[in-house]
Protein backbone atom coordinates (compact mmCIF):
# COMPACT_ATOMS: atom_id res chain seq x y z
CA UNK A 1 0.00 0.00 0.00
CA UNK A 2 1.31 3.46 -0.79
CA UNK A 3 0.94 6.21 1.78
CA UNK A 4 -1.78 8.58 0.67
CA UNK A 5 -2.10 11.96 2.32
CA UNK A 6 -5.16 14.10 2.11
CA UNK A 7 -4.84 16.76 -0.64
CA UNK A 8 -4.14 19.47 1.93
CA UNK A 9 -1.25 17.45 3.35
CA UNK A 10 0.07 16.36 -0.05
CA UNK A 11 3.66 15.16 0.36
CA UNK A 12 6.13 17.24 -1.48
CA UNK A 13 9.75 18.34 -1.35
CA UNK A 14 8.51 21.69 -0.09
CA UNK A 15 8.93 21.50 3.67
CA UNK A 16 5.52 21.25 5.33
CA UNK A 17 4.85 24.08 7.77
CA UNK A 18 3.53 23.21 11.21
CA UNK A 19 3.06 25.22 14.33
CA UNK A 20 5.78 23.93 16.60
CA UNK A 21 5.10 22.83 20.14
CA UNK A 22 8.70 22.86 21.29
CA UNK A 23 11.05 25.79 21.36
CA UNK A 24 14.22 25.20 19.39
CA UNK A 25 15.59 28.63 18.84
CA UNK A 26 19.23 27.69 18.28
CA UNK A 27 18.74 26.72 14.65
CA UNK A 28 16.72 29.68 13.51
CA UNK A 29 19.45 32.31 13.45
CA UNK A 30 21.47 30.07 11.14
CA UNK A 31 18.87 29.09 8.63
CA UNK A 32 19.84 31.73 6.09
CA UNK A 33 23.31 30.25 5.81
CA UNK A 34 23.24 27.98 2.81
CA UNK A 35 26.20 25.85 3.82
CA UNK A 36 24.28 24.15 6.64
CA UNK A 37 23.48 20.54 5.95
CA UNK A 38 21.03 17.83 6.99
CA UNK A 39 22.78 14.46 7.27
CA UNK A 40 21.65 10.84 7.54
CA UNK A 41 24.77 8.83 8.41
CA UNK A 42 23.37 5.32 8.05
CA UNK A 43 24.87 1.85 8.34
CA UNK A 44 24.43 1.33 4.58
CA UNK A 45 24.00 4.80 3.09
CA UNK A 46 24.91 8.40 3.87
CA UNK A 47 22.72 11.15 2.51
CA UNK A 48 23.18 14.90 2.70
CA UNK A 49 20.53 17.57 2.16
CA UNK A 50 21.37 21.16 1.44
CA UNK A 51 18.62 23.77 1.88
CA UNK A 52 17.42 25.15 -1.47
CA UNK A 53 19.28 22.39 -3.35
CA UNK A 54 17.52 19.22 -2.13
CA UNK A 55 19.53 15.99 -1.67
CA UNK A 56 23.08 16.70 -2.80
CA UNK A 57 24.78 13.44 -1.84
CA UNK A 58 23.76 9.79 -1.64
CA UNK A 59 26.67 7.43 -1.14
CA UNK A 60 27.32 4.03 0.38
CA UNK A 61 28.70 4.37 3.94
CA UNK A 62 31.83 2.52 2.88
CA UNK A 63 35.52 3.38 2.90
CA UNK A 64 38.49 1.50 1.46
CA UNK A 65 41.83 2.14 3.18
CA UNK A 66 45.40 1.11 2.73
CA UNK A 67 46.15 -0.59 6.03
CA UNK A 68 49.87 0.18 6.07
CA UNK A 69 49.69 3.86 5.25
CA UNK A 70 46.17 4.44 6.63
CA UNK A 71 45.32 6.46 3.54
CA UNK A 72 41.83 6.23 2.06
CA UNK A 73 41.81 4.53 -1.35
CA UNK A 74 38.13 5.13 -2.09
CA UNK A 75 35.06 6.42 -0.29
CA UNK A 76 31.34 5.87 -0.85
CA UNK A 77 29.87 4.00 -3.83
CA UNK A 78 33.29 3.45 -5.39
CA UNK A 79 34.56 1.83 -2.19
CA UNK A 80 31.42 -0.32 -2.01
CA UNK A 81 32.15 -1.75 -5.45
CA UNK A 82 35.54 -2.86 -4.13
CA UNK A 83 33.89 -4.98 -1.43
CA UNK A 84 35.11 -8.57 -1.82
CA UNK A 85 37.28 -7.52 -4.77
CA UNK A 86 40.48 -6.42 -3.02
CA UNK A 87 43.26 -8.15 -1.17
CA UNK A 88 45.57 -7.04 1.66
CA UNK A 89 46.73 -4.38 2.38
CA UNK A 90 43.51 -2.72 1.11
CA UNK A 91 40.61 -3.10 3.53
CA UNK A 92 37.05 -2.22 2.62
CA UNK A 93 34.88 -1.46 5.61
CA UNK A 94 31.71 0.16 6.78
CA UNK A 95 32.62 2.25 9.83
CA UNK A 96 29.00 2.64 11.00
CA UNK A 97 27.46 -0.55 12.34
CA UNK A 98 23.93 -1.04 13.59
CA UNK A 99 23.29 2.67 13.41
CA UNK A 100 26.23 3.72 15.60
CA UNK A 101 29.92 4.42 15.05
CA UNK A 102 32.03 1.27 15.08
CA UNK A 103 35.29 2.92 13.92
CA UNK A 104 35.66 6.55 14.97
CA UNK A 105 38.61 7.53 12.75
CA UNK A 106 37.23 5.97 9.60
CA UNK A 107 33.81 7.50 10.22
CA UNK A 108 35.41 10.91 10.57
CA UNK A 109 37.46 10.53 7.36
CA UNK A 110 34.45 9.22 5.43
CA UNK A 111 32.13 11.97 6.68
CA UNK A 112 34.71 14.64 5.94
CA UNK A 113 34.96 13.39 2.37
CA UNK A 114 31.16 13.40 2.01
CA UNK A 115 30.79 16.90 3.47
CA UNK A 116 33.45 18.26 1.10
CA UNK A 117 31.79 16.55 -1.84
CA UNK A 118 28.37 17.89 -0.83
CA UNK A 119 29.75 21.41 -0.58
CA UNK A 120 31.66 21.06 -3.86
CA UNK A 121 34.34 23.38 -2.57
CA UNK A 122 31.98 26.34 -2.74
CA UNK A 123 31.86 27.23 0.95
CA UNK A 124 34.55 28.71 3.08
CA UNK A 125 32.59 28.39 6.32
CA UNK A 126 32.34 25.16 8.22
CA UNK A 127 28.78 23.86 7.99
CA UNK A 128 26.33 23.41 10.80
CA UNK A 129 24.84 19.92 10.74
CA UNK A 130 21.50 18.49 11.74
CA UNK A 131 22.39 14.84 12.05
CA UNK A 132 20.04 11.87 12.43
CA UNK A 133 20.86 9.58 15.35
CA UNK A 134 19.50 6.17 16.30
CA UNK A 135 17.01 6.59 19.13
CA UNK A 136 18.64 3.55 20.76
CA UNK A 137 22.07 5.22 20.91
CA UNK A 138 23.61 5.70 24.36
CA UNK A 139 24.96 9.08 25.53
CA UNK A 140 28.48 7.89 24.78
CA UNK A 141 27.49 6.86 21.26
CA UNK A 142 25.81 10.23 20.74
CA UNK A 143 28.94 12.01 21.93
CA UNK A 144 31.07 9.92 19.58
CA UNK A 145 28.80 10.77 16.65
CA UNK A 146 28.90 14.48 17.50
CA UNK A 147 32.67 14.43 17.95
CA UNK A 148 33.19 12.62 14.63
CA UNK A 149 31.05 15.23 12.86
CA UNK A 150 32.96 18.11 14.48
CA UNK A 151 36.29 16.50 13.54
CA UNK A 152 34.95 16.00 10.02
CA UNK A 153 34.59 19.77 9.68
CA UNK A 154 31.23 20.70 11.19
CA UNK A 155 31.00 23.99 13.06
CA UNK A 156 28.03 22.93 15.14
CA UNK A 157 26.16 19.64 15.41
CA UNK A 158 22.60 19.01 16.45
CA UNK A 159 21.43 15.41 16.77
CA UNK A 160 17.82 14.46 16.24
CA UNK A 161 16.25 11.07 16.78
CA UNK A 162 15.97 9.33 13.42
CA UNK A 163 12.32 8.29 13.83
CA UNK A 164 11.43 11.96 14.44
CA UNK A 165 13.43 13.06 11.40
CA UNK A 166 11.94 10.24 9.31
CA UNK A 167 8.39 11.14 10.37
CA UNK A 168 8.99 14.79 9.43
CA UNK A 169 10.56 13.73 6.12
CA UNK A 170 7.56 11.55 5.34
CA UNK A 171 5.20 14.42 6.13
CA UNK A 172 3.47 13.02 9.24
CA UNK A 173 1.88 15.71 11.40
CA UNK A 174 3.94 14.70 14.43
CA UNK A 175 3.69 18.01 16.26
CA UNK A 176 0.06 17.20 17.13
CA UNK A 177 -0.71 15.37 20.40
CA UNK A 178 -1.55 12.17 18.52
CA UNK A 179 0.48 8.98 18.32
CA UNK A 180 2.26 7.95 15.10
CA UNK A 181 3.92 4.58 14.70
CA UNK A 182 6.92 4.61 12.40
CA UNK A 183 9.13 1.64 11.54
CA UNK A 184 12.50 2.47 9.95
CA UNK A 185 14.00 -0.69 8.44
CA UNK A 186 17.53 0.34 7.51
CA UNK A 187 20.66 -1.63 6.71
CA UNK A 188 21.80 -2.33 10.27
CA UNK A 189 18.81 -1.67 12.50
CA UNK A 190 15.06 -1.62 12.59
CA UNK A 191 13.79 1.22 14.75
CA UNK A 192 10.16 1.00 15.77
CA UNK A 193 9.01 4.20 17.44
CA UNK A 194 5.89 5.93 18.63
CA UNK A 195 6.22 9.65 17.93
CA UNK A 196 3.83 12.10 19.53
CA UNK A 197 4.12 15.89 19.95
CA UNK A 198 7.49 15.80 18.12
CA UNK A 199 9.02 13.39 20.63
CA UNK A 200 9.74 9.68 20.71
CA UNK A 201 7.48 8.39 23.49
CA UNK A 202 8.45 4.74 23.11
CA UNK A 203 10.84 2.88 20.86
CA UNK A 204 12.59 -0.39 20.26
CA UNK A 205 15.75 -0.79 18.20
CA UNK A 206 16.90 -4.22 17.02
CA UNK A 207 20.00 -5.10 14.98
CA UNK A 208 17.88 -6.91 12.39
CA UNK A 209 17.40 -5.15 9.06
CA UNK A 210 18.63 -5.17 5.44
CA UNK A 211 22.08 -6.65 6.24
CA UNK A 212 20.43 -9.54 8.06
CA UNK A 213 18.12 -10.10 5.09
CA UNK A 214 21.24 -10.42 2.90
CA UNK A 215 22.88 -12.78 5.39
CA UNK A 216 19.70 -14.89 5.60
CA UNK A 217 19.84 -15.40 1.81
CA UNK A 218 23.54 -16.32 1.99
CA UNK A 219 22.88 -18.80 4.84
CA UNK A 220 19.90 -20.37 3.04
CA UNK A 221 21.89 -21.04 -0.17
CA UNK A 222 24.83 -22.42 1.77
CA UNK A 223 22.69 -24.78 3.85
CA UNK A 224 20.34 -25.89 1.07
CA UNK A 225 22.62 -26.01 -1.99
CA UNK A 226 26.13 -25.86 -0.46
CA UNK A 227 26.69 -22.79 -2.60
CA UNK A 228 28.12 -19.57 -1.28
CA UNK A 229 27.53 -16.10 -2.74
CA UNK A 230 28.94 -12.70 -1.80
CA UNK A 231 27.17 -9.94 0.14
CA UNK A 232 26.75 -7.69 -2.89
CA UNK A 233 25.17 -10.53 -4.89
CA UNK A 234 22.84 -11.41 -2.00
CA UNK A 235 21.77 -7.78 -1.71
CA UNK A 236 21.08 -7.47 -5.40
CA UNK A 237 19.01 -10.72 -5.36
CA UNK A 238 17.06 -9.39 -2.37
CA UNK A 239 16.38 -6.05 -4.07
CA UNK A 240 15.36 -7.62 -7.39
CA UNK A 241 13.43 -10.70 -6.25
CA UNK A 242 13.05 -10.65 -2.45
CA UNK A 243 9.53 -10.96 -1.09
CA UNK A 244 7.95 -11.11 2.35
CA UNK A 245 4.71 -12.81 1.31
CA UNK A 246 3.20 -15.68 -0.65
CA UNK A 247 2.28 -14.78 -4.17
CA UNK A 248 1.58 -16.43 -7.49
CA UNK A 249 4.89 -15.03 -8.78
CA UNK A 250 6.86 -16.98 -6.17
CA UNK A 251 7.54 -19.80 -8.66
CA UNK A 252 9.49 -17.44 -10.91
CA UNK A 253 13.01 -18.84 -11.44
CA UNK A 254 16.05 -16.82 -10.34
CA UNK A 255 19.43 -17.68 -11.83
CA UNK A 256 22.70 -17.00 -10.10
CA UNK A 257 26.30 -18.13 -9.94
CA UNK A 258 28.04 -18.97 -6.67
CA UNK A 259 30.92 -21.08 -5.41
CA UNK A 260 30.33 -24.70 -4.49
CA UNK A 261 31.50 -25.10 -0.89
CA UNK A 262 32.81 -28.65 -1.50
CA UNK A 263 34.61 -28.30 -4.82
CA UNK A 264 35.46 -24.59 -4.61
CA UNK A 265 34.36 -24.24 -8.22
CA UNK A 266 31.75 -21.85 -9.68
CA UNK A 267 28.25 -23.34 -9.78
CA UNK A 268 25.17 -22.11 -11.62
CA UNK A 269 22.03 -22.27 -9.50
CA UNK A 270 18.31 -21.72 -10.10
CA UNK A 271 16.01 -21.02 -7.16
CA UNK A 272 12.52 -19.50 -6.96
CA UNK A 273 11.09 -16.48 -5.14
CA UNK A 274 9.22 -18.70 -2.70
CA UNK A 275 12.59 -19.89 -1.43
CA UNK A 276 13.67 -16.29 -0.88
CA UNK A 277 10.48 -15.71 1.09
CA UNK A 278 11.36 -18.72 3.27
CA UNK A 279 14.95 -17.50 3.68
CA UNK A 280 13.76 -14.06 4.81
CA UNK A 281 11.11 -15.37 7.19
CA UNK A 282 13.39 -15.51 10.25
CA UNK A 283 14.58 -11.85 10.25
CA UNK A 284 11.07 -10.73 9.29
CA UNK A 285 9.68 -12.65 12.24
CA UNK A 286 12.10 -10.86 14.59
CA UNK A 287 10.96 -7.48 13.25
CA UNK A 288 7.37 -8.59 13.78
CA UNK A 289 8.07 -9.56 17.40
CA UNK A 290 9.66 -6.17 18.07
CA UNK A 291 6.59 -4.42 16.67
CA UNK A 292 4.19 -6.57 18.69
CA UNK A 293 6.19 -5.86 21.86
CA UNK A 294 5.69 -2.13 21.40
CA UNK A 295 2.00 -2.46 20.53
CA UNK A 296 1.42 -4.59 23.64
CA UNK A 297 2.97 -2.12 26.05
CA UNK A 298 1.76 1.27 24.81
CA UNK A 299 -1.06 3.30 26.28
CA UNK A 300 -4.56 2.53 24.86
CA UNK A 301 -4.94 6.19 23.75
CA UNK A 302 -1.92 5.79 21.51
CA UNK A 303 -3.23 2.48 20.17
CA UNK A 304 -6.45 4.27 19.17
CA UNK A 305 -4.42 6.95 17.32
CA UNK A 306 -2.37 4.30 15.54
CA UNK A 307 -5.45 2.29 14.60
CA UNK A 308 -6.79 5.46 12.94
CA UNK A 309 -3.56 6.54 11.24
CA UNK A 310 -1.91 3.21 10.58
CA UNK A 311 1.75 2.22 10.62
CA UNK A 312 4.30 4.05 8.48
CA UNK A 313 7.14 1.99 7.03
CA UNK A 314 10.33 3.71 5.97
CA UNK A 315 14.07 3.00 5.42
CA UNK A 316 15.36 0.92 2.50
CA UNK A 317 13.90 -2.28 3.97
CA UNK A 318 10.40 -0.85 3.47
CA UNK A 319 10.99 -1.42 -0.25
CA UNK A 320 11.03 -5.20 0.21
CA UNK A 321 8.10 -6.50 -1.84
CA UNK A 322 5.15 -7.52 0.34
CA UNK A 323 6.52 -6.23 3.65
CA UNK A 324 3.48 -3.94 4.07
CA UNK A 325 1.09 -6.87 3.55
CA UNK A 326 3.16 -8.99 5.95
CA UNK A 327 2.84 -6.38 8.72
CA UNK A 328 -0.81 -5.68 7.93
CA UNK A 329 -1.72 -9.36 8.24
CA UNK A 330 0.20 -9.53 11.52
CA UNK A 331 -1.29 -6.46 13.20
CA UNK A 332 -4.63 -5.97 11.37
CA UNK A 333 -3.71 -2.28 11.21
CA UNK A 334 -3.43 -0.15 8.08
CA UNK A 335 0.17 -0.07 6.82
CA UNK A 336 1.65 2.61 4.57
CA UNK A 337 5.00 2.65 2.80
CA UNK A 338 6.71 6.06 2.67
CA UNK A 339 6.84 7.53 -0.79
CA UNK A 340 10.61 7.88 -0.68
CA UNK A 341 11.76 5.49 2.10
CA UNK A 342 15.50 5.87 1.51
CA UNK A 343 15.26 9.66 1.84
CA UNK A 344 12.88 10.14 4.80
CA UNK A 345 15.52 10.79 7.49
CA UNK A 346 17.66 13.19 5.46
CA UNK A 347 14.64 15.14 4.22
CA UNK A 348 13.41 15.43 7.82
CA UNK A 349 16.85 16.61 8.97
CA UNK A 350 16.83 19.15 6.16
CA UNK A 351 13.37 20.45 7.02
CA UNK A 352 14.45 20.84 10.65
CA UNK A 353 17.49 22.77 9.46
CA UNK A 354 15.28 25.12 7.53
CA UNK A 355 13.50 25.90 10.76
CA UNK A 356 10.10 24.55 9.76
CA UNK A 357 10.11 22.04 12.60
CA UNK A 358 11.36 22.28 16.11
CA UNK A 359 11.58 18.78 17.50
CA UNK A 360 13.31 17.84 20.71
CA UNK A 361 17.07 18.27 20.36
CA UNK A 362 18.69 15.14 21.70
CA UNK A 363 22.27 16.36 21.70
CA UNK A 364 23.92 19.60 20.73
CA UNK A 365 27.57 20.58 20.59
CA UNK A 366 29.58 23.36 19.04
N1 LIG B 1 14.09 -2.47 -3.21
C2 LIG B 1 14.62 -2.91 -2.06
N3 LIG B 1 14.13 -4.05 -1.49
C4 LIG B 1 14.64 -4.50 -0.33
N5 LIG B 1 15.62 -3.90 0.36
C6 LIG B 1 16.13 -2.76 -0.15
C7 LIG B 1 15.65 -2.20 -1.37
N8 LIG B 1 16.36 -1.06 -1.63
C9 LIG B 1 17.24 -0.94 -0.62
N10 LIG B 1 17.11 -1.94 0.27
C11 LIG B 1 17.90 -2.19 1.47
O12 LIG B 1 17.79 -1.09 2.35
C13 LIG B 1 18.94 -1.05 3.19
C14 LIG B 1 19.47 0.36 3.26
O15 LIG B 1 18.46 1.19 3.77
P16 LIG B 1 18.80 2.57 4.46
O17 LIG B 1 19.61 3.39 3.52
O18 LIG B 1 17.52 3.13 4.95
O19 LIG B 1 19.73 2.07 5.66
P20 LIG B 1 20.68 2.95 6.56
O21 LIG B 1 19.96 4.19 6.95
O22 LIG B 1 21.99 3.14 5.90
O23 LIG B 1 20.89 1.97 7.79
P24 LIG B 1 20.53 2.19 9.36
O25 LIG B 1 19.31 3.05 9.41
O26 LIG B 1 20.29 0.81 9.88
O27 LIG B 1 21.74 2.83 9.96
C28 LIG B 1 19.98 -1.99 2.56
O29 LIG B 1 20.05 -3.18 3.33
C30 LIG B 1 19.39 -2.27 1.20
O31 LIG B 1 19.74 -3.56 0.74
MG1 LIG C 1 18.72 4.75 8.46
Is the C-beta atom of 165 inside 6 A of ligand 1? no
pTM of the model: 0.89
Task: For residue range 231-277, list pLDDT tens digits in order.
Answer: 999 999 999 999 999 876 777 899 999 999 999 999 999 999 999 99
Which range has the worst mean pLDDT, 199-203, 245-249, 305-309?
Answer: 245-249
> What residues sit around ligand 2, an ion, with C-beta below 5 angstroms?
42, 186
Flag whether pLDDT at 84 surpasses 90. no
Q: Which residues contact 55 (CB under 8 A, 6 or more apart)?
A: 47, 48, 49, 343, 346, 347
Give the helix/strand (H/E) hosting 312.
strand 311-314
Q: What is the mean pLDDT of the segment spanning 211-222?
A: 98
Ligand 2 mean position, distance from CA 108 (Å)? 18
Return mean pLDDT, the chain: 87
Listing DSSP states for 323-348 in one string gives HHHHHHHHH-S-EEE-SSTTTHHHHH
Sign of CA dihedral 220, 223, 227, 232: positive
Whole-Å CA distances, 244 to 61, 275, 277, 283: 26, 11, 5, 10
What's the average model confidence in pLDDT over 134-153? Answer: 95
33 and 39 Cβ atoms separated by less than 8 Å: no
Q: Which CATH superfamily is domain 210-279 in?
A: ATPase, substrate binding domain, subdomain 4 (3.90.640.10)
Q: Which ligand is nearest to the CA of 62?
A: 1
User: Which class in CATH covers the domain with range 176-209+283-337?
Assistant: alpha beta
Q: Write the residue with the smallest CA distance to atom 19 of ligand 1.
A: 186
Environment class of 26 (CB within 10 Å of its CB; exposed 0-12, middle 13-18, buried 19+): middle
Helix (H, G, I), strand (E, B) or coil at 197: coil
Return residue ranges of the chain for CATH 3.30.420.40.
10-169+343-365, 176-209+283-337
Query: Distance between CA atoms of 359 and 198, rounded to whole angstroms?
Result: 5
Report pLDDT for 27.
Answer: 45
Average pLDDT over residues 291-312: 95
232 lines ligand 1 (CB under 6 A): no
Helix (H, G, I), strand (E, B) or coil at 249: helix
* Mean pLDDT for the stretch of residues 196-213: 95
Q: Cα of 224 to ligand 2 centre, how many Å?
A: 32
**Residue 322 scores a pLDDT above 60:** yes
Atom number in ligand 1 closest to CA 211: 29
In the chain, where does the domain assigned CATH 3.90.640.10 lie? 210-279
Q: Which atom of ligand 1 is found nearest the CA of 188?
A: 26
In short, whether 146's Cβ falls inside 6 Å of ligand 1 is: no
* CA distance linking residue 258 with residue 120, whole number of Å: 40
Fold of 10-169+343-365: Nucleotidyltransferase; domain 5 (3.30.420)
> Is the CB of 316 inside a 6 Å radius of any atom of ligand 1?
yes
Helices and strands of the chain, counted as H and E runs: 10, 19
Atom of ligand 1 nearest to the CA of 321: 3
Question: Ligand 1 within 6 A of 179 CB?
Answer: no
Amino acid sequence: MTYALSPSEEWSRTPPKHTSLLGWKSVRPFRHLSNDLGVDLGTSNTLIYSPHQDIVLQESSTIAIHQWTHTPIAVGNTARQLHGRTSAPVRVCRPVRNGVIADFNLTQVMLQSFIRKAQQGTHIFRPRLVLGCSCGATDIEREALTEAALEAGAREVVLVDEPVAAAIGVGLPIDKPKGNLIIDIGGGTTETAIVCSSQVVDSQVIPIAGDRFNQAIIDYLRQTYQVTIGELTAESIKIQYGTATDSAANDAPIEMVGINVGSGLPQRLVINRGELRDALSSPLHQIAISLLNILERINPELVTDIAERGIMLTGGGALLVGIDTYIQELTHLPVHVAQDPLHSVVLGAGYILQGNHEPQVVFKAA
